[in-house]
Structure 1
Amino acid sequence: MGTPLPSSKLRNSTIENPNRILSPLHPCPLRLWRPAAQRNIKNQWSKLLMSKDRWVSAASEGRLHATELVNAYLKLRYLPEMNLGVLMDIPGIKEKACHKLVHKQYFCRRKLISSYKDMVVAVNDLGKASYSMRCYLKGSDSNPIIQYCNHQEDPSDSGDGGGIPVFSFLSISIMENLAQELVDMFKRELSLKRFLVIGLLSIIGTEDGGKDVLDWSNELYLGEFDDLRSSGMLKQDGFHPVSPQIKEYQSSNPLNRTSIKSPNHNTLEVYLTTWISDLNINMHRVKEIFSVVEEEMRAKLS
């Protein structure tokens, strides 16, 4: 993760000489390239902001569903020992309460998976925007047509204008590096969230011998591994997600771990606290990156 810097220091450490044109493009195509590149950069950073906001919303909803799932599980677990007072005179009161709590668990389980899927989609969209910032020239030198695409037609066209600033100071490669820094944070956090989701989903099966306990190699929803593959979060064999980690610390292989069959209140509290903490995302740095980009563009992202 990059060290947070004031925008002025970030500029001074990354500015490239505006007059240094490394591209073989002629001045006329470059003059046409810059407006198209500016439009595309604004568009991609707007997508990055929307995807970040979508993540925040999905993570918040996931925390709510995870909390409700844990509460339902604990109530169900301790229901046989609870003293219901005068309610004990109602025939089948504990059986009915148990049925409602089981139903509540399954409902929260589906909602938690849905929130997790929204987070996966948000990270995929972050990745797509981060590597869609280049603007390529299409057409002859005498009649160039600017077109944005995600691949180069001319091997000599790097799509970055030869490294010149797109707006005032920052080149496309610097913009890409800032975007990739964001993506890396959210990818690490998504992997950690997946680890927590598996643990939370597994507690619904602990009372019936653990038949429903999940492990790291299970898909949590249909097509999940395809989504993770798109964001580069599957191992080279293409069958297992990368191991969860906190910042630069890589955990041991989750496939070698055994699930906690009957987690207690303290264990589940750690799960929920870890979810809330967003340990891999430095929100101050995230805000700083968007602030630097907005200052560079002289425009608010939306």
Structure 2
Amino acid sequence: MSASPATSSAATRLWRPAAHRNLRNQWSKLSNYRKQWIAASSAGRSHATSLVNSFLSLKYIPHMELGVLSDMLNIRKKASDKLCKQQDSHRSNLLSSYKEMVGILVELVNASRSMRCYIKISSSPLLQFSSSPEDANDAGDGGDIPVCNFWTVSTFEQMAEELVEMFRREVILKRLLVLELVALSTEVPQPDKLSWSTELYHGESEDLAKCCLYSTETPGPVPPCLRDNESVTPTLSHTAQPTEETLQIYLTTWLTEVNIDTHRVDEILSLAGEEMRVTL
């Protein structure tokens, strides 16, 4: 039987530099998307803080001592109307930041799934390579041989998956915070809050599905992991607004990004860069 293009020694010699180039490209993307995430998360936290401040100011306006401003006509109403408009703007900006973070996660997932390099079936004396297999016997990993020094394609994939999983979990946690924050309202009675299955922007379910964060059985987004890695669908409050202390915890949780081990992310990028002889 003739050897598969994916397993012949000549193909392997040509496959390694092509696979090396592809890995450098994908890991450069992972590094750049990580930087984009930091910027989007920071912007989201700023919008969340502004939204909370507007909500608290609006909440306390009826009970504020206005001093010399008390004689001004409709001063409380004018202030309340302006704060309501600010709330709508901050709410919209927060949702935009969340959408941007989900989009970045989609790109992180795509890059982590594009580590393999397949050989095109061609009569050309120079082999060509693609991101999808044309030969059923071609696994895209060069027969699981080291690509650079010691790591195989599978090793690079495992490291990338560990990195992406942190951002996957963080997106779902941030979704929980966004749901609580965008539902802030001083109206009495309280309006119905969004449920966990509510789509926060058009196309969100499709984006989450690309990241394995959407369940077709429920259906709805995969719930965040709680203690001992248990998953419980969040029950959002419909009767009471969060206290000032609770809102501060929400903002601190957003800032901390508890699911992303920054030192481990830096370590993964450093190790992968050393293996490929590039700086990430």
| Residue 33 of structure 2 corresponds to residue 54 of structure 1 | no
How far apart in 1 are the matches of 2:260 and 2:82? Answer: 37
2:204 aligned residue = 224
Q: Are 1:210 and 2:178 counterparts?
A: no
Deviation for aligned residue 1:259 = 3.7
Would the aligned equivalents of 2:48 and 2:181 in 1 still touch at CA under 8 Å? Answer: yes
Task: Pick the aligned partner of 1:72 from 54, 63, 71.
Answer: 54
Find the counterpart in structure 1 of residue 229 from structure 2. 249
1:196 aligns with 2:196: no
Secondary structure, aligned partner of 1:262: coil
Q: TM-score, normalised by structure 2?
A: 0.93
- 1:97-137 Cα offsets, whole Å, 9 max, x none, are 00111011000000000000010001100000001010011
Q: CA RMSD, aligned part only?
A: 1.8
Deviation at 1:62, TM superposition (A): 0.5
Aligned to 2:246: 267
How many angstroms does 1:87 deviate by?
1.2
Structure 1 SS opposite 2:134: coil
> In the TM superposition, what is the alpha-carbon distance from 1:167 to its structure 2 partner?
0.9
| 1:4 aligned partner | none
**How many angstroms apart in 1 are the aligned matches of 2:238 and 2:179?**
9
- Number of the residue aligned with 2:147: 166
User: Given the superposition, is the C-alpha separation of residues 121 and 32 from structure 1 closer, same or farther in structure 2, using an over 3 Å criterion?
Assistant: same
The reply on whether 1:157 has 2:149 as its aligned counterpart is no
Query: CA-to-partner distance for each residue in 1:233-260, whole Å, 9 max, x for gaps?
Result: 1013273000012585234222x44346
Q: Given that residues 119 and 127 in structure 2 are in contact (C-alpha distance below 8 angstroms), is that contact kept between their aligned partners in structure 1?
A: yes
Change (3 A) 1:118 1:24: closer
Aligned to 1:280: 259
Structure 1 pair 47/101, CA: closer, same or farther in 2 (3 Å)? same
What is the alpha-carbon distance in structure 1 between the residues aligned to residue 167 and residue 205 of structure 2? 17
Please give the alpha-carbon distance, in whole angstroms, between the structure 2 residues aligned to 1:181 and 1:163. Answer: 20
Structure 2 distance, partners of 1:160, 1:260, is 55
The two structures have a TM-score, normalised by structure 1, of 0.87
Aligned equivalents of 2:140, 2:239: Cα separation in 1: 51
Query: Corresponding residue for 1:19?
Result: none
Q: 1:37 aligns with which of 16, 19, 23?
A: 19
Aligned residues: 276
CA distance change for structure 1 residues 24 and 219 in 2, over 3 Å: closer, same or farther?
closer
Q: Percent of aligned pairs with the same residue?
A: 46
C-alpha distance after superposition, 1:81-107 (max 9, x if no partner): 011111112111111100111011000
CA spacing shift, 1:201–1:257, aligned 2, 3 Å: closer
Could you list the runs of 5+ residues in structure 2 that have no partner in the other structure?
none
Contact 1:247–1:280 under 8 Å retained in 2: no
Note if contact 1:192-1:244 (Cα within 8 Å) is conserved in structure 2.
yes
SS in 2 for 1:177: helix
* Cα contact 2:193–2:237 (8 A) shared by 1: no
Match of 2:117?
135
Aligned to 1:92: 74
The answer to whether the 8 Å contact 1:246/1:279 transfers is: no
The 2-side partners of 1:299 and 1:246 are apart by 37
Which region of structure 1 is more displaced relative to structure 2, 240-249 or 94-103? Answer: 240-249
What residue is the counterpart of 1:20 in the other structure? none
Q: Does the aligned pair in 1 maintain the 2:192–2:238 contact within 8 Å?
A: no
- Find out whether 1:119 has 2:98 as its counterpart: no
Distance 1:141 1:83 in 2: 84
Contact 2:121 2:135 in 1 (8 A): no
